[in-house]
Amino acid sequence: MTKSEELNISIGREQSGKRLDTALAGITRLSRSRIQQLLRNGHIEYTQPGGKPSDEPLQASRKVLEGDRFRITLPPSQPLSLEPEDIPLDILYEDEHLIIINKPAGMVVHPSHGHERGTLVHALLHHCPDLPGINGIERPGIVHRLDKDTSGSLVVAKTETAHIGLSALFASHELTRQYLAWCRGAPRWKNRRIELPIARHPQHRQKMAVHPQGKEAVTDAEVEYFLGPFSQLRLTLHTGRTHQIRVHLAHERLPILGDPVYARNYHPGHDIPEPSRSMIASLRRQALHAELIAFCHPVTGKQVHITAPLPDDLQALSEALHRNYG
């Protein structure tokens, strides 16, 4: 973000009586620490009737009342110390506010230990010179993630205003996300809502697991095709827990083909005909694809409905299974 953005906030009944930092954080989806930082730097003003700013000094602990109005100025972001990389992106949608990428399997979203280069963040820094600031630091406004080896649609904010709006859509579940998965097993149901809480696995800290003390996790599952000993499912996420679909389907005894973490080693035998046997054996990642994302644009108000085409490996797998079992 190379120029300032402005937010005009009116306090409603739900926020009346709360601390200023708490109320503004709840309305804008900025963090309380970010609000406090903006207050300290004089970027939040109380607006008098008629729109004139007040000279009244503002404290984070100030109690707000219904009808109070505030103007928040989001200053230009400070540069992030990452080198942009000219990595090709499969762009499904882009405007001045946001961009939707068809992420390939194998690409990590954020830099981390062992993945200091070649991430989606590095590619976005090259493609989008103007990126939103999160807590005042310039970095791509990624509001959700895909696992490294899950392909498909991923939305990124290009302005802080869009980042706030998208974060609110995710928090209120007003955004549709649908995935396709190819699984081992054929359920006895055609449609099922899976409501099982998810937490960190108690023994294996790199894994997640269904756990009664976990966070709420809701997935709608629909069988699109019964394919002999396999099935093709469409999954709609209502929450966004780590590895949610993979954990839920494994718990339902429908492990995703190729999943190295939640599916036991599976080597298709000679009872599986060609070409399905070869396609399954050649998988190097979970057969999971974020196909569809749809939402009301947080800035323009227009409906956005994007479908990510299948990558070659999953297209080949699907065709092979349908040829043998369709």
Q: How many CA atoms lie within 13 A of 201 on its CB side?
A: 13
**Spatial CA neighbour of 150 closest among 102, 216, 190, 116:** 102
Contact assessment for residue 168 and residue 29, using Cβ atoms and an 8 Å cutoff? yes
Contact assessment for residue 136 and residue 75, using Cβ atoms and an 8 Å cutoff? yes
Contact assessment for residue 153 and residue 304, using Cβ atoms and an 8 Å cutoff? no
d(CA 220, CA 213): 21
3 state DSSP class of 231: strand
147 flagged as catalytic:
yes
Among the listed residues 68, 90, 95, 147, the single catalytic one is: 147
Q: Give the CA dihedral 21, 26, 29, 35, nearest 10 degrees.
A: 0
Residue 248 CB-density burial (10 A; 0-12 exposed, 13-18 middle, 19+ buried) = buried
d(CA 175, CA 153): 13
d(CA 269, CA 280): 11
- For residue 303, give both structure tokens: 């409906």
Angle formed at CA 172 by CA 209 and CA 239, multiple of 5 degrees? 15
Compute and round to an integer the Cα radius of gyration of the chain.
23
d(CA 190, CA 160): 41
Give one DSSP letter per residue of 97-111, joined into a string: SEEEEEEPTT--SS-
**Spatial CA neighbour of 310 closest among 153, 98, 185:** 153
Catalytic positions, please? Answer: 147
